[in-house]
Chains A and B, each alone.
Chain A
Amino acid sequence: MERLSGTRIASVLILAVVAAALAWVVSPAALPGVTRIVVLAGAVMSLNLLIGNLGLISMGHGLFIGAGAYIVAVANVKYGVPVGQGALLAIGGAVLLAIVTGFMVLRARALFFALLTLAFSQVAFVFVARDYSLTGGDDGLVGIDIPAWLDGDVQKHLLAVATTTLVCLLILIMLASPFGATLRAIRDNRDRVASLGANPTFHEFVGYIIASALGAMVGVTAAVTREAVEPGVFSWVTGATLLVMVALGGRSAFFGPIVGLAILELTRSWVQSFSEHGDLAIGALVILCALLFPEGVAPWANDVFAAHRARKREAG
């Protein structure tokens, strides 16, 4: 069982402080971009709760991020609900959605699970993109009325950092609990857990709901920091992008997804600054990483560190 070690909590908090400090380091024009990446970090972490700890490869995580974003946006823009209450509504709605879809998607395994989740988010995408009266159709919704204390890029950035940090801490606490240990046991050997008397499907169901609620939290933050939503979050692009980030960084390391996110996004923005062949560069980079680190960059880095430390201990 993984323990809730001080180093882990400290590393999350240090990362959070560094991310927050970026608000004063980067130029004001670049700050919204950085905020977007911080929000994405929360999204990949919540997705890796499913992939890394449950072995459930979801390609439809955009469904819950989108649900969170859209519930808060629709409630605010169409019905004048303040963002705070809207956020609670969004998380509640996402939990309901997870309960309903969970019954259906958890019957399937592996690739079937991936495509079934993808199908649900794709269906949601079409419904949201077609409905111009409620969800604003292809254009999405703009003009979310945010409270005064959030007005400003720096404040929004801090909110994004706070959300992502909260997501990371919640996941850490869950992983350290007996519940988290059972989840990983189910991932490794489902039948054995069942034979020991635990109910694998129930645990998977709860894990799925938690990951969805965390995804919705991230979605709310995405909507509030951008003051707008657009239907693209539901589409397969979101699900696939998050999945590739998790695969690239490494699903078995805690910060793996964030490493993958950093590699992809930094390369993209760097290459796009001087060339329009961003896809070519990213494709080559992803292939290179697949050949060198098929299990992700972060687990490999962890191994290197561990070996280095062991050698030091032997020498000293």
Chain B
Amino acid sequence: MDWRLLLAQIVAGIAAGALYFLVASGLTLIWGAFSVINLAHGSFFMIAAFATTACVAAFGPQAGLLTALIAVPLAVCALAVVLEKTLFHRVHRFGMWGQLLFSFGLLLILNDLVRTIFGPVPRSISPPEMLRSYVALGGVRIASYQMAILAVTGLVALFLWILLARSRTGRLIRAAVDDPAMLGAVGVDVSRLRARVMGIAAFLAGIAGVVAAPRGAVNTALDVQTVLIAFAVIVIGGLGSVWGALFAALLIGVAEAVSTLYIDQGSEVVIFAVMALILIVRPTGLRTIVGRA
């Protein structure tokens, strides 16, 4: 076994896991704090990825990606807040079944709109000039774009930690995860908080979508693919647990990347196999091991 190859795969897995974490952390917060199932969460990721390809086509690889990194997550965040304020808040009180139906409908509509606007052909963009090469670290060659992904997601995770641990919004979110009914009873405007969390979640998914766009083909199957992985991450990590999700995302990312050394295709089966194994051992996810946000 070539340990350099293995190390490179592990770094690649961590980079992929970091992206999974960005998508899943928002989903687990919405679920944990407000018991909302949002099947359309992956659509935010897909929309951001397509918008990034449009930005790159308009402004060139470097400026385009930078513009996308700033503008696209904000736009996706705005879209999520508008959807929450106009439609989504109506189904919250219906419980899981109403939300399941509603968000499934949303998933179909967003997918159809994206297909209509951007066309059915997958798009691909290349990373900016300065991030196309390799970094050699003690003999291990690591694509510099992966380092960039790690840097961006690390910053976002830090921001998320500060938000949850230090800010008033974060305290309210943690309180909502613990006991949403009580939070409403002490006079907090829960529906406003929910819109804010929806916005944050979409913002995180948007960043993931922008950063992930140069990694591979951007196609209209991304939404379902992403949301399935995100759900796998949050059940492995434990519902509502942000840092459980972080651990689970890295675990899945690394397992998937390392498995490509041994099996030639079908790495997504590894995700589900890992999920099945962990849920068989711990039917409510890892939350109790890793600790709660």
Instruction: Report chain B residues within 8 Å CB of A290.
Output: 91, 94, 98-99, 101-102, 105
Interface residues of A in 272-316 (CB under 8 A from B): 277, 279-280, 282-291, 294-296
Q: Does A255 lie at the interface of the complex (its beta carbon under 8 Å from any beta carbon of B)?
A: no
Given the contacts A108-B283, A111-B235, A123 and B111 also touching, CB distance less than 8 Å: no
| Binary interface encoding of chain B residues 16-42 relative to chain A, with 1 for a CB under 8 A from any of its CBs, else 0 | 000000000000000100000100000
Contact indicator B101/A116 (Cβ below 8 Å)? no
Chain A's interface size range is 35 or more
Contact indicator A115/B97 (Cβ below 8 Å)? no
Instruction: Report chain A residues within 8 Å CB of B265.
Output: 130
- From B37, B98, B266, B279, give the contact of A116 (CB < 8 A): B279
Given the contacts A123-B276, A277-B116, A291 and B108 also touching, CB distance less than 8 Å: no
CA distance A123 to B37 in the complex (A): 24
- Across the two chains, which residue of chain A brings its CB closest to B94? A294
| Binary interface encoding of chain B residues 117-141 relative to chain A, with 1 for a CB under 8 A from any of its CBs, else 0 | 0000000000000000000000000
Contact indicator A291/B102 (Cβ below 8 Å)? yes
Interface residues of B in 217-271 (CB under 8 A from A): 224, 228, 231-232, 235, 239, 265-266, 268-269
- From A107, A111, A248, A282, give the contact of B108 (CB < 8 A): A282
Contact indicator A126/B269 (Cβ below 8 Å)? yes
- Across the two chains, which residue of chain A brings its CB closest to B285? A112
Contact indicator A119/B275 (Cβ below 8 Å)? yes
Q: Does B7 lie at the interface of the complex (its beta carbon under 8 Å from any beta carbon of A)?
A: no
Q: Does B87 lie at the interface of the complex (its beta carbon under 8 Å from any beta carbon of A)?
A: yes
Contact indicator A279/B269 (Cβ below 8 Å)? no
CA distance A290 to B94 in the complex (A): 9
Contact indicator A247/B101 (Cβ below 8 Å)? yes
CA distance A7 to B205 in the complex (A): 52
Instruction: Report chain A residues within 8 Å CB of B31.
Output: 111
Count A-B pairs with CB separation below 8 Å.
123
Contact indicator A116/B87 (Cβ below 8 Å)? no
Q: Does A76 lie at the interface of the complex (its beta carbon under 8 Å from any beta carbon of B)?
A: no
- Report the minimal beta-carbon distance from A63 to chain B, rounded to whole angstroms: 12
Q: Does B171 lie at the interface of the complex (its beta carbon under 8 Å from any beta carbon of A)?
A: no
Contact indicator A279/B108 (Cβ below 8 Å)? yes
- From B101, B232, B239, B283, give the contact of A119 (CB < 8 A): B232
- Across the two chains, which residue of chain A brings its CB closest to B99? A290
Would you mind naming 29 contact pairs between A and B with Cβ atoms under 8 Å apart? A104-B280, A108-B284, A109-B283, A109-B284, A111-B37, A111-B235, A112-B283, A112-B285, A115-B232, A116-B235, A116-B275, A116-B280, A123-B273, A126-B269, A244-B100, A244-B101, A247-B100, A251-B97, A277-B112, A280-B108, A282-B108, A283-B105, A285-B105, A287-B87, A288-B105, A290-B94, A291-B102, A294-B91, A295-B98
Q: Which 7 A-B pairs have the closest CB atoms?
A: A294-B98, A283-B108, A286-B105, A294-B94, A283-B109, A287-B105, A290-B101
